[in-house]
Amino acid sequence: MQHASDKWSIAIFVAILSVIIVYKIIISVYGRERWARLGIAGTTAAALVVTVYLAFILPNGWDLSAKLIVSLVLAVLAALFIARMMTGQFTGVPSIRRIPGLNAIDEAIGRATEMGRPVLMVPGITGLDIVSLQALSIFSYIAKAVASFGNRCILPTIDPALQGVAEETIRDAYQTAGRPELFDPDDIRYLSGQQFAFASGVAGIIYRERVAASFMLGSFFAESLILAENGQMAGAIQIAGGPQTTQLPFFIASCDYVLLGDEFYAASAYISRNATLLGSIVGQDYCKLLMISSALIGAICVTFLQWHFIATSNIGHAFSYFVNIFNQ
């Protein structure tokens, strides 16, 4: 290892990993007893001590390479999530603000059931990745509700690997709802691997099947407006969301409800009301708070550095150091 920063990266990574593993073992073997919590707290403290000790046996010098900064930021953010996820089981369910798009899911499914028309779920046009898996986790809840109402749901995919996972997820949802006989594997379809061929296929499904509710959750690109407008023209109630900020304006113009930004990632926690998942949402908010604070401090530093007498003083050097950390 060439630099001090490298050992910091290793130390932080090992510390977080060891805490995660010990936590999982303690929880799975001993449950959530009081003394188990003490064990977890003790392990976390020990990991911190080890991290600091490893840091202090380094040679002198504080070499802030870009890799170290990324590692530190990732480690701090991950530690915030994980800590809040772990404590989420002990502190109870935190309250989350109302998200209209998610509250409208039941309304959309109920409307489709009353009209006797199916529900369409589109998981985006990327393959099997984090975004589509998150979309599938939301669709699992939707499918359970659809199955409990005795309705039908159609899920077209652009990736054959995703189709296999989606078929099992929706089948399990129907089984959990106690209506396995209603599940039709032909409703989980691989249409095409081409973007616009997929869009035209979905548009055809919207018109032929006369869907009454359309959920477009996942990564969408140019075809987003094609899907949304066709759903609008068919009279379907539409709920959309995804990580592509460039497609949000199109969804907002065409859909009834849109999940903006990280509401998409919060959806599974919001719907399930699972304490661990909701804890991760709180952890996300802590991370955003940290980022906003860093941005504000940076803005203040840059503002004060405009004055020469501050820029040349000791405090000016400190401001400059802080700003340069994020300029690597």
Partner 1 sequence: MSLYYRIRAAWDAFFAPAHGHLFYRKLGIGIVLSAAVLVLLQAIPSRFRKITIACFTFLAGLYYVAEFFIPAHKMADGSTGNFLTPYFEFSGNFGNVISGFAIGLGVISLLGLHFRTISRFREGWGFSLALVIGFFAMTIFGLMNQYSPNKVVMPAIGHFAGATTSGDVYKVLFNGGLASLDSAMFALIGFYIISASYRAFRIRSVEASLLMLSALIVMLGQVTLGTAITNHLPITGYWSNFRLENMAAYILVQINSPAIRAVTFGLAVGLLATSLRLWLSLERNAYFDQEA
Q: Report residue 114: phi and psi, to 5°.
A: -60, -40
User: If binding is defined by CB under 8 A, does position 1 make contact with partner 1?
Assistant: yes
Q: Report d(CA 320, CA 297) in Å as an integer.
A: 11
User: If binding is defined by CB under 8 A, does position 140 make contact with partner 1?
Assistant: yes
User: If binding is defined by CB under 8 A, does position 189 make contact with partner 1?
Assistant: yes
Report DSSP state, residue 168.
H
Q: Report residue 121: phi and psi, to 5°.
A: -130, 120
- What part of residues 193-232 is at the interface with partner 1 (CB under 8 A)? 194-197, 199-200, 204, 208, 222-223, 225-226, 228-229, 232
User: If binding is defined by CB under 8 A, does position 136 make contact with partner 1?
Assistant: yes
71, 13 in Cβ contact below 8 A? yes
Residue from the set 46, 50, 64, 277 that interacts with partner 1 by CB under 8 A: 277
User: If binding is defined by CB under 8 A, does position 134 make contact with partner 1?
Assistant: yes
- What part of residues 49-78 is at the interface with partner 1 (CB under 8 A)? 67, 71, 74, 77-78
- Could you tell me which stretch among 111-119, 146-154, 265-273, 297-305 binds partner 1 (CB under 8 A)? 265-273
Q: Report d(CA 105, CA 42) in Å as an integer.
A: 43
Q: Report d(CA 12, CA 75) in Å as an integer.
A: 7
30 vs 307 by CB, closer to partner 1: 30
- Paired with 240 in beta bridges are 216, 258
- What part of residues 151-180 is at the interface with partner 1 (CB under 8 A)? 159-161, 163-164, 169
Residue from the set 48, 52, 253, 296 that interacts with partner 1 by CB under 8 A: 253
Task: Pick the closest to residue 137 from 167, 159, 169, 105 (CA basis).
Answer: 169
- Could you tell me which stretch among 47-55, 111-119, 252-260, 318-326 binds partner 1 (CB under 8 A)? 252-260
Mutual orientation of helices 66-91 and 275-304 as an angle, nearest 10°? 140
User: If binding is defined by CB under 8 A, does position 252 make contact with partner 1?
Assistant: yes
Tell how far CA 16 is from the center of its chain.
20
User: If binding is defined by CB under 8 A, does position 254 make contact with partner 1?
Assistant: yes
User: If binding is defined by CB under 8 A, does position 126 make contact with partner 1?
Assistant: no
Judged by CB under 8 A, the number of residues near partner 1 is 80
Q: Report d(CA 50, CA 10) in Å as an integer.
A: 11
User: If binding is defined by CB under 8 A, does position 250 make contact with partner 1?
Assistant: yes
SS3 328: coil
Residue 37 CB neighbours (<10 A): 16
70 vs 315 by CB, closer to partner 1: 70
- Could you tell me which stretch among 35-43, 96-104, 264-272, 298-306 binds partner 1 (CB under 8 A)? 264-272
User: If binding is defined by CB under 8 A, does position 122 make contact with partner 1?
Assistant: no
Q: Please state whether 70 falls in left (phi above 0), alpha (psi between -120 and 50) or beta.
A: alpha
The one-letter amino acid code at 30 reads Y
* Nearest distance, CB of residue 34 and partner 1, angstroms: 19
* Nearest distance, CB of residue 48 and partner 1, angstroms: 18
Tokens (6 digits) for 260: 């903006």
User: If binding is defined by CB under 8 A, does position 127 make contact with partner 1?
Assistant: yes
16 vs 212 by CB, closer to partner 1: 16
The one-letter amino acid code at 40 reads I
